[in-house]
C-alpha cells in the first residue's frame, strides 16, 4: 500500500497517529487526519485544512504544530545544528509546511520554502535547511530536494550557545480552507554529534 514504507530500525523514533508519545508531538493542535482512499500510496501523517477536518472538535485543527525535541534534550545548541530534513508528499503547494526552531533563551526562527512556485502538486519532496556552513543536500530515494530559507520571522539573537528546546513542523492558521494538504513521512535532524530520524506512520 505504501511504496515508501520500510521497517524502521530501532534507531528511528516512530510515531503512530494515536498514543501518548504522538499526543506530545501534536499537543493541542491538529493530530494527523485519516488518509483518504484517494491519497493512499504514501505512508505518514496526513493533514489537510479542509472544512470537513478542521471543524472536527476538540483539537485546534486549523493548523499543525508537530513538535520534536533536539537530538540531546537540554544540551543541543544552535551551534550543534547541521541540517533538518522533512520528507513529505505535497498535494497542494498553495500553503506549505514550514519549520520553527525555538531556544531556551526565547529565540525563534522560521524557515520556509524558498521557491514554492517551483513545486508540483502530488510530488514527494525533501524540504531541507542546512546550518553552520553545512552544505550537503539530502539524498532521499524517490524525493526531490526543496531548500528552506530563513523567512526573516523570529525573535531573539538565536546565538550559537542557546539551547534548542523544540523543532516544529507548522502550517499557517490563516491559510484558506483547502489550501494545505500533505503527508509527512519523516523528519531527520543532523547535529555535530550525529543524526536522529523521526518516522510518522499512518498505522492503517
pLDDT, tens only, 53-95: 999 999 999 999 999 999 998 999 999 999 999 999 999 999 9
Note the pLDDT of residue 94. Answer: 97
Contact yes or no for 119/90 (Cβ under 8 A):
yes
Q: Which tops the pLDDT comparison, 1 or 52? A: 52
pLDDT band at 9, cuts 50/70/90? Answer: low
Q: How far is CA 44 from the centre of its chain?
A: 11
Place of cell 485519516: 34
Query: What domains appear along the chain, each with residue ranges and CATH number?
Result: 12-200 (2.60.120)
The rounded radius of gyration (Å) of the Cα atoms in the chain is 16
State yes or no: pLDDT of 185 exceeds 80.
Answer: yes
The mean pLDDT of 23-48, rounded to a whole number, is 93
Note the pLDDT of residue 187. Answer: 97
The mean pLDDT of 123-140, rounded to a whole number, is 96
Note the pLDDT of residue 4. Answer: 56
| Distance, CA of 95 to CA of 135 (rounded, Å) | 27
State yes or no: pLDDT of 10 exceeds 70.
Answer: no
State yes or no: pLDDT of 3 exceeds 70.
Answer: no
Mean pLDDT of all residues in the chain? 93
Please count the residues of the chain.
Answer: 204
Q: Which three cell numbers stand for residue 15?
A: 510515531
Note the pLDDT of residue 12. Answer: 84
Q: What is the reported pTM? A: 0.93
Q: Report the run of H or E that residue 81 belongs to, with start and end.
A: strand 81-92
Note the pLDDT of residue 11. Answer: 77
Contact yes or no for 42/123 (Cβ under 8 A):
no
State yes or no: pLDDT of 7 exceeds 60.
Answer: no
State yes or no: pLDDT of 8 exceeds 60.
Answer: no
Note the pLDDT of residue 18. Answer: 84
Note the pLDDT of residue 24. Answer: 94
Distance, first Cα to last Cα, the chain: 10
For the stretch 4-10, contacts whose Cβ atoms lie closer than 8 Å and that sit 24 or more positions apart, written own/partner, are: 4/42, 4/43, 4/44, 4/124, 4/142, 4/185, 5/43, 8/199, 8/201
Note the pLDDT of residue 114. Answer: 86
Place of cell 520556509: 112
Note the pLDDT of residue 96. Answer: 98
| Distance, CA of 82 to CA of 69 (rounded, Å) | 15
Q: Which tops the pLDDT comparison, 12 or 157? A: 157
| Distance, CA of 16 to CA of 21 (rounded, Å) | 9
Amino acid at each position: 500500500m505504501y511504496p515508501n514504507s520500510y521497517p524502521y530500525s530501532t534507531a528511528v523514533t516512530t510515531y503512530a497517529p494515536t498514543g501518548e508519545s504522538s499526543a506530545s508531538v501534536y499537543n493541542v493542535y491538529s493530530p494527523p487526519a485519516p488518509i483518504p482512499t484517494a491519497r493512499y500510496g504514501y505512508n505518514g501523517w496526513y493533514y489537510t485544512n479542509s472544512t470537513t477536518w478542521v471543524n472536527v472538535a476538540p483539537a485546534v485543527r486549523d493548523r499543525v504544530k508537530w513538535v520534536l525535541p533536539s537530538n540531546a534534550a537540554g544540551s543541543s545548541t544552535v551551534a550543534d545544528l547541521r541540517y533538518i530534513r522533512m520528507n513529505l508528499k505535497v498535494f497542494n503547494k498553495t500553503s506549505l509546511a514550514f519549520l520553527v526552531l525555538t531556544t531556551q533563551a526565547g529565540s525563534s526562527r522560521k524557515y520556509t520554502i524558498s521557491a514554492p512556485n517551483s513545486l508540483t502538486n502530488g510530488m514527494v519532496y525533501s524540504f531541507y535547511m542546512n546550518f553552520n556552513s553545512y552544505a550537503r543536500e539530502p539524498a532521499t530515494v524517490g524525493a526531490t530536494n526543496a531548500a528552506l530559507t530563513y523567512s526573516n520571522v523570529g525573535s531573539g539573537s538565536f546565538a550559537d550557545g542557546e539551547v534548542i528546546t523544540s523543532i516544529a513542523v507548522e502550517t499557517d492558521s490563516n491559510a484558506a480552507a483547502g489550501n494545505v494538504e500533505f503527508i509527512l513521512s519523516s523528519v531527520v535532524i543532523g547535529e555535530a554529534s550525529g543524526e536522529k530520524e523521526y518516522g510518522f506512520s499512518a498505522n492503517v
